[in-house]
Amino acid sequence: MDDKDLLSNDGANPHFAQLLTALSATATTRRRLLQAGLGSAALSFFGLPALAGPTGRAGIGFAPISISSDDVVRVPDGYIVQLLYAWGDPIADGPAFRADAGNSAGEQAEQAGMHHDGMHFFPWLVDGKPSSTHGLLCINHEYTDDGLLHPDGMVDWSHDKTRKSQNAHGVSVIEVELRESGGVLRWQLLRPSPYARRITARTPIRIAGPAAGTPDMRTRDDRRGNVVFGTLANCAMGHTPWGTYLTCEENFNSYFNGLVEPTADQKRYGIRANGAGFRWHEHDSRFDVATEANEANRFGWVVEIDPWQPAQAPVKRTALGRFKHECATVTLASDGRVVVYMSDDEAFEYLYKFVSSDRFKASEAAAGGRLLDDGTLYVARFDGDGKGRWIALQYGQNGLDPGNGFADQADILIRTRQAADLVGATKMDRPEWLAVDPQNGEVYCTLTNNRKRLVADAANPRAENAFGHIIRWREEQADAAAGVFDWDVFVLCGDPENADAARRGNIKGDAFASPDGLWFDRDGRLWIQTDASGSVLNRGDYQRLGNNQMLVADIASGEIRRFLTGPKACEITGISATPDSRSLFINVQHPGEAAGGRSSPSAPLAGSGWPANQFPGVTGGRPRSATLVVRRADGGVVGS
């Protein structure tokens, strides 16, 4: 047992005090907390092993599977895969999916969006305990393939097609339950459900925090600068101790038609003329920068959704900064302040964390969201000696003042990238997901790849980084609010048989590359999902790596084993489990994706026939992104 274990099990640490507060809260608060996942099986927010679960690091118990280039999902022997929720499935009593993509824009607003990405399972409360058979799933729909979305693709681009595309973006909230039918246990959507809803690129969303209402956030349609229609490019996510979901706006720039001569600020965010491949601006002028200069300032944020309050508008939390947000992984500092780890997924962008000013109090859980409106945003610098530092992006500090072009804190938050440039943050190899080890608070981050890197540095140690790596850090005193940390590289990905020694990596176990999704299960196994682009899969450097996949790492031994392989040209992304870890939810995004992300409507199945080719009775006609549930045939803990 080392000092990390001692900390995890130290009954006197402040996390434990918070737990006690939570468990002695009023009945209403307690119900909410438990629904939020703060039940006995989900105490990882507090850095504690689950009371009812095993203590210590659990190992990996399945036999690894081979790589695959086939058009199906494969899992180890003894596991069952169920298709739960595919693009076009009704969220409740709505219209069924049409194989010819003939559903209207209005129907799409009552159906699963396209391109499932990050998600989280929020358990129901039964007799005071979080359920592992009933809950709400929040699922991001990152973007659309408009070649598949409309019967004839993007020809005769219209207002209706724009509306359908907007309605296929955003988030699904669905109510799901594990039920027995004919002697077989299957997860099902509850239809109808009072919680079921779609949040789309057209849903009214409140803007909160320091940038709300400021001049750069005002538009012709919203002169107060505090309400925006929609969220989009919803990549990965987070969830809070008060039971809400955070959805992250990533590649928002590609929805805006920029100026022929963009401003420096627009350039820094990639907002350029003819850069709007989705063509929304042709029928919705707020996406045309020449018509509405400030609308682009209202995207690129973290958005909070309360799945338990279906009538409540989501909220863009501007204190968390504006960039191409991949995910927002929440933990608590030693003193109870809320810490959100975040990443900006583009080559040479940065890692961030937000620390709230106030502490999370279980007795005030219902008002938890306000904690995300007031705090300090930091950006990471990784030094060559294995140390690192969090640099505050705070007005008046570190040169962030009018002398360097920053007028106030709102300005810093709207132009977060430029603020981070000024303070000397470390340029990373496309940071994607972040995961906090429930057993010791160490933070892991996938750096998916960066072939554009010419010069290696300590934290990004390979030039032309074709395969990516996973970095990790340990905050000083294991306190998430600390200003400094120690870091190392957990693994360099690659193909151990690559002719170029620099590209082989140092994986102990099964080969993979382009890590993206990353998640710790309750027992401390690290799950890794890959997103190599279709242009490299199964060829060249990636010849021996197969389709995108999911693996499990044993942190104690460093061993990594392949658990799942996906169908053709998909990415595997999104992962969450029931509190008992016996049902694992994962997403298959964009099976069969064509180069450039747009399929031919005349040959919709050219890239993949999934999922209809694998699951009998599923409507096909198009490849469909989908949520799967993976369970063990004997009902055991997944991965054990």
Among ligand FEO, Ca ion, none, residue 295 binds (CB under 5-8 Å by kind): none
- CB-count exposure of residue 265 (10 Å: 0-12, 13-18, 19+): middle
Of 107 and 345, which has the nearer Cβ to ligand FEO? 345
Of 116 and 525, which has the nearer Cβ to ligand FEO? 116
- Helices first, then strands: H and E counts in the chain: 9, 31
- Min CB(167)–ligand FEO separation in Å: 20
Tell me the C-alpha distance between 87 and 112, whole Å: 5
Question: Shortest Cβ contact with Ca ion: which residue?
Answer: 531
Among ligand FEO, Ca ion, none, residue 142 binds (CB under 5-8 Å by kind): ligand FEO
- Min CB(206)–ligand FEO separation in Å: 24
- Min CB(250)–ligand FEO separation in Å: 5
Contact between 196 and 175 under an 8 Å Cβ cutoff? The reply is yes
Residue 521 engages Ca ion in binding (rule: CB under 5 A): no
Among ligand FEO, Ca ion, none, residue 554 binds (CB under 5-8 Å by kind): none
Closest CA to 554 of 430, 639, 446: 639
- Min CB(241)–Ca ion separation in Å: 24
Of 22 and 553, which has the nearer Cβ to Ca ion? 553
Among Ca ion, ligand FEO, none, residue 373 binds (CB under 5-8 Å by kind): none
- Min CB(236)–Ca ion separation in Å: 6
Which residues, in sequence order, are bridge partners of residue 229?
204
Which residues, in sequence order, are bridge partners of residue 347?
429
Tell me the C-alpha distance between 589 and 592, whole Å: 9
Q: What is the DSSP string of 55-69?
A: -S-----SPPPPP--
x-or-dash string of contact with Ca ion, 417-456, rule CB under 5 A: ---------------x------------------------
Which residues are CB-contacts of 285 (< 8 A; sequence separation ≥ 6)? 291, 292
- Min CB(432)–ligand FEO separation in Å: 5
Q: In the set 295, 304, 531, 593, which binds Ca ion (CB under 5 A)?
A: 531
Residue 516 engages Ca ion in binding (rule: CB under 5 A): yes
x-or-dash string of contact with Ca ion, 363-392, rule CB under 5 A: ------------------------------
Of 345 and 442, which has the nearer Cβ to ligand FEO? 345
Judged by the rule CB under 6 A, the positions of this chain that interact with ligand FEO are 142, 235, 250, 326, 345, 432
- Min CB(551)–Ca ion separation in Å: 16
Q: Which amino acid appears at position 95 of this protein?
A: P
Q: What is the DSSP string of 496-565?
A: TT-SSGGGS---EES-B-SEEEEEE-TTSPEEEEE---TTTTTSGGGTTT-S-EEEEE-TTT-EEEEEEE
Q: What is the DSSP string of 153-220?
A: TTTT--HHHHHHHHHTSEEEEEEEEEEEETTEEEEEE-SS-TT-EEE-TTSEEEEESTTTTSGGG--S
Closest CA to 628 of 558, 575, 581: 575
Residue 349 engages Ca ion in binding (rule: CB under 5 A): no
- Min CB(407)–ligand FEO separation in Å: 30
User: Which residues of the shown chain bind Ca ion in the complex (CB under 5 A)?
Assistant: 432, 516, 531
